[in-house]
Amino acid sequence: MKRKTVTIVNNLTGQEEEFPLIEGNQGPPAFDIRSLYPKMGLFTYDPGFKSTASCSSDITFIDGEEGILLYRGYPIEQLAEKSCYLEVCYLLLYGELPDREQYAHFHRMITTHSMVNEGLRAFMSGFRHDAHPMSILVGVVGALSSFYHHELDVSDPEHQEISAHRLIAKLPTIAAAAYKYSIGQPFMYPQNDLCYSENFLSMMFSVPAEPYNVNPLEARVLDLVLLLHADHEQNASTSTVRLAGSSLANPFAAVSAGIGALWGPAHGGANEAVIRMLEEIGDVKNINAFIDRARDKNDPFRLNGFGHRVYKNYDPRARILRKAVHQLLADTKTSDPLFEIAMRLEEIAMKDAYFLEKKLYPNVDFYSGIIYRRLGIPVNMFTVMFAVARCIGWIAQWKEMISDPERVIGRPRQVYTGPKDHEYEMPDQRGYPTGSTKHCPRCPQSRWSRMGSSS
Ligand code: CMC
């Protein structure tokens, strides 16, 4: 009978060991190498985790070859068409779609936790007036720990749940405040009669001096963008949240770490980079020059919004967003020259041998920025928008990680390639004045050392 194992042979020593195969419900199996080091004295080497499953998870599934994305088993296309962001938050957090009562309760919890402690205003005012909103978000979400840390027991399911609610509820408030701060306008309070995306638009664009009516079309399209970004299994920021949380750090600190990881242009920062790139292209006639640059091995330039570690097919989120941009521009009878450039760029890239061979397709960030622009959201807020949307994914994955009976602190190994057998040389053997270590051997630059050398 065939065994569900993988055998590893060390060809240097001839040692042979068998490791169990773990099969999920979908996707390729993994073999369990937790006993590899104790059994064989070997580590595996996989920078970037290209072939490593860091956990098992019930939350999200991606089939990158086929371009399939499921949240808790539900296809993203169905959720995008029929559900809404907050319902999807419930689904990701609790594992099933809510019934009416469950949703009403959840909605109420998120709505009533959306205010932030007034003390955070003072915290915000410490930032430079032109601070990037992502820097504010990283700092302020981490600072939320200072309001809840003492009372928080991360192993208590009730505490996990209330932390999750607080994070989902407060992220839009903090994000909008970061924007208001950057333009010198007063922070706007959340309104409990507005739904999640309406509330966000209201906190972003209303001012105390006059009434503000949320445009329902804009709220709907924002809700869709949030839903499409809600979770994406073990990406860089989610893995960061899990890793930070595995030390039993509080969830606000762990999510703040995730926000930091999201910021880079290879991850959530790509939406900002896409718009800057489209602006730089400026005209369809310049597209080919940028494609040439993206193909050039000696040029670090990459086509922002193209390619994905997992998708080797069209990102299903990008397909939905592309359609949504068309719809939004048609509904509002507007056009966007950057959308024209984006579509032409996609068309050209999708016929180009380099992009075809490497299976580089538009990803979710290729079209999200066009929508944000149309909603009046400034470019430096785009990655903040991603963070607001992804907060549920981070916290659902954190909750799963923290409740996992197999949880241990995350601690990768390394292959050390640095020098060995260095022996310490005293400072005067390395060009410092003789006797400079007389008073303080610990630091050759110390006050006492300087006094010693000048005397
Ligand atoms: N433009 C040009 N060449 C590319 C691109 C691109 N956008 N993306 C990958 N390549 C090339 C890359 O140079 C490499 O070529 P070679 O095999 O000759 O060395 C090959 O394709 C594979 O790339 P990789 O960097 O090894 O692949 P990865 O899985 O490590 O990187 C990625 C995935 C998303 C970081 C990368 O495709 C990229 O930098 N894309 C642009 C940034 C971007 O849009 N990021 C958003 C990702 S989706 C939102 C999210 O969830 O974060």
| Contact present, 189 and 200 (Cβ < 8 Å) | no
CB atoms within 10 A of CB 404: 14
| pLDDT of 378 higher than 80 | yes
> By C-alpha distance, which of 394, 411, 399 is closest to 137?
394
CA distance 50 to 158: 35
Catalytic residue among 308, 326, 422, 428: 308
H or E stretch including 104?
helix 100-112
User: DSSP letters of 177-234?
Assistant: HHHHHHTTPPP----TTS-HHHHHHHHHH-BTTB-----HHHHHHHHHHHHHTS--SS
CA of 384 to the centre of ligand 1 (A): 22
Name the residue of 76, 296, 306 whose CB sits within 8 Å of the most ligand 1 atoms, as the mutation to test its pocket.
306
CA of 235 to the centre of ligand 1 (A): 14
Q: What is the pLDDT of residue 148?
A: 83
Known catalytic residue at 149: no
- The band of 237, judged by pLDDT with boundaries at 50, 70 and 90, is very high
Q: Which two tokens stand for residue 229?
A: 């970004």
| Contact present, 77 and 320 (Cβ < 8 Å) | yes
Q: What is the pLDDT of residues 100-141, one digit of tens each?
A: 999 999 999 999 999 999 988 888 889 998 899 999 999 999
CA of 154 to the centre of ligand 1 (A): 36
Q: What is the pLDDT of residue 431?
A: 80
* Ligand 1 atom index nearest CA of 268: 52
End-to-end CA distance of the chain: 84
Average pLDDT, the chain: 93
Alpha-carbon Rg for the chain, nearest whole angstrom, is 26
Q: What is the pLDDT of residue 447?
A: 57
Domain assignments of the chain as residue spans, ordered by start: 5-63, 73-268+387-402, 278-374, 426-455
What CATH number has the domain spanning 278-374? 1.10.230.10
| pLDDT of 445 higher than 90 | no
Q: What is the pLDDT of residues 303-353, one digit of tens each?
A: 999 999 999 999 999 999 999 998 998 998 888 999 999 999 999 999 999
- The band of 357, judged by pLDDT with boundaries at 50, 70 and 90, is very high
> Which carries the bigger pLDDT value, residue 426 or residue 150?
426
Considering the chain, what percentage of its residues have pLDDT values greater than 90?
85
- The band of 444, judged by pLDDT with boundaries at 50, 70 and 90, is low
Q: What is the pLDDT of residues 382-414, one digit of tens each?
A: 999 999 999 999 999 999 999 999 999 999 999
Known catalytic residue at 365: yes
The answer to whether the CB of 345 is under 6 A from ligand 1 is: no
| pLDDT of 454 higher than 60 | no
CA of 360 to the centre of ligand 1 (A): 8
- The band of 49, judged by pLDDT with boundaries at 50, 70 and 90, is very high
Q: What is the pLDDT of residues 253-279, one digit of tens each?
A: 999 999 999 999 999 999 999 999 999
CA distance 331 to 219: 13
To which CATH superfamily is domain 73-268+387-402 assigned? Citrate Synthase, domain 1 (1.10.580.10)
**Residue range 283-300: mean pLDDT, rounded:** 95
- Pick 5-63's CATH classification: 3.40.50.620, 2.20.28.60, 3.40.630.10, 3.40.640.10: 2.20.28.60
| Contact present, 244 and 380 (Cβ < 8 Å) | no
Single-letter residue type at 2: K
Q: What is the pLDDT of residues 205-224, one digit of tens each?
A: 999 999 999 999 999 999 99
Phi, psi values for residue 361, rounded to 5°: -115, 160
> Which carries the bigger pLDDT value, residue 450 or residue 158?
158
